[in-house]
Structure 1
Amino acid sequence: MSLKESNAWYTQLQDQCEYPSNQVFSKVLFKDNNSQHNLICIATGINMAEHSTNRNAIITVISGKGTLVLKGEPVILEPGVFVSMPSGTRHALKSEENLAFLLIFSENS
């Protein structure tokens, strides 16, 4: 069975990245009843104020650099970093270089 004959697909994440100034680029790559996979791209110098989400979240950094403040502790975001945040976790973010990461939301267990 070829990819065209199934629901399977693939993409090169770097090719999907966009860094608009003064805003966050978010693109849903995959969504089903249990999870949502988003590509998030944040241009250099953007600050995201402290916030939380009502779902569990996983961050996997693809490229760039930034700082995530997670429950008051700084976490350096750079390629290869993996972060798990249970639902309701307070966090803020600052991009220091064009930052791209995969953000996966899942339902609370």
Structure 2
Amino acid sequence: MNKLFEKGAILNMAEMIEYSTGGVISKQVLKNDAGNITLFSFDKGQGLSEHTAPFDAMVEILDGEAEISIDGKPLVLIAGQSVIMPAGIPHALYASKQFKMLLTMIKG
């Protein structure tokens, strides 16, 4: 386990990842048989193309603004907002502005 994400310590996720000019950064917070939690930062203009996941996944926006499409329906989320992306349904993410997010995927 990365000491950055020490268990039993207070964590400020938005401060635990930086932006990369022209890039996307991901840092795994936790991973086990039940699922995983991953921290991401997206620079303006970056994103993830449409794909599906085998399990429901929750995205929480920590900073900035994200454009998320779920089954072709566009959503704009800002810091403090979350959305659950259903398993097996196509979704995509795009950074019209920089944003940071926490992705939680629970298997089951």
TM-score by length of 2: 0.84
Tell me, in whole angstroms, the C-alpha distance in 1 between the residues paired with 2:14 and 2:101.
Answer: 10
Q: Is the 8 A contact 2:69 2:91 kept in 1?
A: yes
What root-mean-square deviation, in Å, do the aligned CA atoms of Structure 1 and Structure 2 show? 1.5
Aligned length: 102
Q: Is the 8 A contact 2:85 2:91 kept in 1?
A: no
Tell me the CA shift for residue 96 of structure 1. Answer: 1.6
Aligned-residue identity in percent: 25
Unaligned residue ranges in structure 2 (runs of 5+): 1-6
Higher-Rg member (1/2): 1
Tell me, in whole angstroms, the C-alpha distance in 1 between the residues paired with 2:69 and 2:85.
Answer: 12
1:14 equivalent in structure 2 = 14
1:81 equivalent in structure 2 = 81
Helix, strand or coil at the partner of 1:67: strand
Once structures 1 and 2 are overlaid, which stretch shifts more, 19-28 or 66-75? 19-28
1:53 equivalent in structure 2 = 53
**2:93 pairs with 1:93:** yes
Q: Deviations over 1:53-108 (max 9, x none)?
A: 12220011111012111111111021121111222120111102211111001102
Tell me, in whole angstroms, the C-alpha distance in 1 between the residues paired with 2:20 and 2:45.
Answer: 12
Helix, strand or coil at the partner of 1:96: coil
Tell me the CA shift for residue 32 of structure 1. Answer: 2.6
Tell me, in whole angstroms, the C-alpha distance in 1 between the residues paired with 2:90 and 2:58.
Answer: 14
